[in-house]
């Protein structure tokens, strides 16, 4: 069954870039933008997450925590975070189980998508890219966040 706006988002626990478990429900203090991306090192992923890094204060001002999730292992996401100086949490979904729960897993692994969830894990917005070479811009996301929160 597809996850839609208004549904309760599945809670999960994944390994974070610091090597420790990250349980969404216990870490979430407000709204979160869950950013599913195909993989560290891919050009579109680097650009997307660098754009979100450069506008991190815009997300913070709107009360939204950015949490990025890929199918790469914990060591890879740790290196990727350090190399690109990413200020937000990166999570490893190496087996794709969480991505599947969020309709963000396809033939080639994790699909590029974003979910806005509130502190009660209600899905306020979702967008799954039909083609992974595209991603939601900071401007699109901040305008959407202003309407949804």
Sequence-distant (≥ 6) Cβ neighbours of residue 4 within 8 angstroms: 123, 126
Alpha-carbon distance values, 58 to 46, 50, 65, 85, 143 (Å): 19, 14, 10, 17, 11
From the list 9, 45, 69, 74, the catalytic residue is: 45
Quote the CA–CA distance of 120 and 139 in Å, as a whole number.
25
Q: Can you name the residues that pair with 117 across neighbouring β-strands?
A: 32, 123
80 is catalytic: no
Catalogue the active-site residues.
Answer: 45
């Amino acid at each position: 069954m597809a996850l839609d706006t208004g549904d309760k988002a599945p809670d999960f626990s994944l390994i974070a870039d610091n090597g420790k478990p990250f349980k969404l429900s216990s870490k979430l203090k407000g709204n979160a933008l869950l950013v599913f991306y195909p993989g560290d090192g891919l050009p579109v992923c680097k650009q997307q997450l660098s754009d979100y890094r450069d506008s991190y204060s815009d997300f913070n001002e709107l009360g939204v925590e950015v949490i990025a999730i890929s199918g790469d292992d914990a060591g890879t996401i740790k290196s990727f975070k350090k190399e690109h100086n990413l200020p937000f949490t990166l999570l490893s979904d190496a087996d794709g189980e969480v991505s599947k729960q969020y309709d963000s897993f396809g033939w080639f692994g994790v699909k590029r998508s974003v979910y806005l969830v509130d502190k009660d894990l209600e899905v306020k917005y979702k967008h799954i890219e039909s083609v992974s070479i595209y991603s939601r811009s900071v401007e699109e996301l901040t305008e959407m966040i202003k309407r949804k929160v």
